[in-house]
Amino acid sequence: MDDRRGLTRARVLTRRLDVTPDLGALAAATGSDVVWLDSGLPEGAPEAARGRARWSLLAHTDGPFATRFRHEDRRAELEVPPAARRWFGTSRSEDRPAFAVLDDLLSRTPALDTPVPGCGFALGWVGFLGHELGRESGGPDRTAAHADADLRFADRAVLVHADGRAWALTLVTDDEPAASAANRAWLDGPHTGGPPVDVPDGATGLPAVAVGRVSRAAYEGAVEACRAEIRDGNAFQVCLTTAFAVGASGREALLAPATDPHLVEYLRLRRADPVPFGAWLRLGPLRIASRSPERFLRVDADGTVVAEPIKGTRPRDADPARDAVARSALAASTKDRAENVMIVDLLRNDLLRTAVPGSVHVERLCDVETYATVHQLVSTVSAVLPAGASRAAVVRAAFPPGSMTGAPKISAMAIADRLEGAPRGVYSGVVGYFSADGSVDLSVAIRTLVTVLDDRGVERSRTFGAGGAVTWSSVASDEADEVETKTRSVFGALGVTAGW
């Protein structure tokens, strides 16, 4: 605890649950916004991947200390309940950069001890940072069509280990007896969520074809434009993306959460494609369903930092022999390994900006990991932070994720932004938490379906982003094929195909 902040009276209470809760059912039974960070793996997943998939958590946003930080149109909007004002001040609107506000909020957050050994979540801030916040670290000056960031200070959460052990956590402080009494009462609740949500196997009611923002020919033309930039020496690699619109049905996201079709869709996705960094978020007008396999950054409470970029992907094949050939071809691919190594080098530089000099190391390079729908190349870069390092500064220095920008980062971002001509939004930003014990764990928001609702709760848009790294050796048709491969990890489970 940090006496200098006057926050020593705050602490986490824990309760070991007798049964493993169904976090999907808990999310359905909760009428408020929720953040569900959902880990899983297919059978036979490599040990390195298993280390990322040990914990899932459901963070509630309806507790007496729950605070909201939203950044939209370059303004920070803070909604602070009375019980949390001693930490975060009053509700307000500020014309300040998002990372500056986040740094201030983290410095004001009560310092809490890690309550469950092995899990780096001690309550704290949960949600997403969108790609367009890259403008605060040298990226193009563009805003998304929705909030650029939405983080909630969660004072109630349920943790579940991969072996079924589970805990409920809540925040109390001697300075707020009424709020603390409410959280103690919540802690004693059942935390089961009721019966499992019914996930039918039939049609979803979604359109059969998701419409591309650009045609396949236009995307291939943009690939060639990237290659021209690389030929001229303006970049080594450009992460070029596009988006597909899953036609908004006009259906209402009913206020009874158990009937929320977006949660039902997410449950279909997780059943078909287990990944270590799945997530489902209900945050105001947004529904975010992510099946990401990629960690952006993990920061342990002791200051150890780990990044695990993915570059290089091949689709799985139902035939075991052909699947093994595809896996071996990825491992041997000069192009894919070059893509991965470039991003590893970029991340070494990003981490060194805030790490102890000499502490940055490449722990593994271009390992093949296999998931339900793809094989991919994964590397691991680690570093050590100086004591007291700002977690917001560490994330800002590496944001947006290098695997979604290219290299050099600032030049590659400018090229991609010009060619794409549209914001990415949540896609290729990050999802996860900033824990009150100093830990951070953020995934890259890829393979992510984002739905925006209007004020009446009716779908306004539903989009899915996909792309890939373009290098000089890229073949435009192959890059377009890779985009289609990446859409299948989500669209396949929903009965949707990508249409260019």
Instruction: Name, in order, each residue with C-beta under 8 angstroms of 174's C-beta and a sequence gap of 6 or more.
Output: 9, 180
Question: Considering 294, 369, 420, 482, which one is annotated as catalytic?
Answer: 294
Residue 86: CB atoms within 10 Å: 18
CA atoms within 13 A on the CB side of 476: 14
Q: Which of 88, 78, 84 has its CA nearest to residue 179?
A: 84
Q: Which of 308, 367, 295, 381 has its CA nearest to residue 336?
A: 367
Q: Which of 103, 21, 113, 9 has its CA nearest to residue 65?
A: 9
Q: 124 near 146, Cβ under 8 Å?
A: no
Backbone angles phi, psi at 152, to 5 degrees: -120, 135
- Is there a catalytic annotation at residue 294? yes
Question: Considering 132, 176, 308, 311, which one is annotated as catalytic?
Answer: 311
Instruction: Name, in order, each residue with C-beta under 8 angstroms of 297's C-beta and a sequence gap of 6 or more.
Output: 305, 306, 307, 394, 395, 398, 430, 440, 441, 442
Q: 336 near 352, Cβ under 8 Å?
A: no
Tokens encoding 119: 């899990």
Residue that has been written with the tokens 């209470």 in this structure: 13
Instruction: Name, in order, each residue with C-beta under 8 angstroms of 59's C-beta and a sequence gap of 6 or more.
Output: 34, 35, 36, 37, 126, 152, 154, 156, 157, 433
Residue that has been written with the tokens 């949707």 in this structure: 496
Tokens encoding 254: 């009913």
- Is there a catalytic annotation at residue 335? no
Torsional class of 427: left (φ above 0), alpha (ψ -120 to 50), beta (otherwise): beta
Pairing type for strands 209-212 and 497-499 reads parallel
- DSSP for 404-420, written as a single string: GTEESHHHHHHHHHHHH
Residue type, 108: R
Catalytic residues: 294, 311
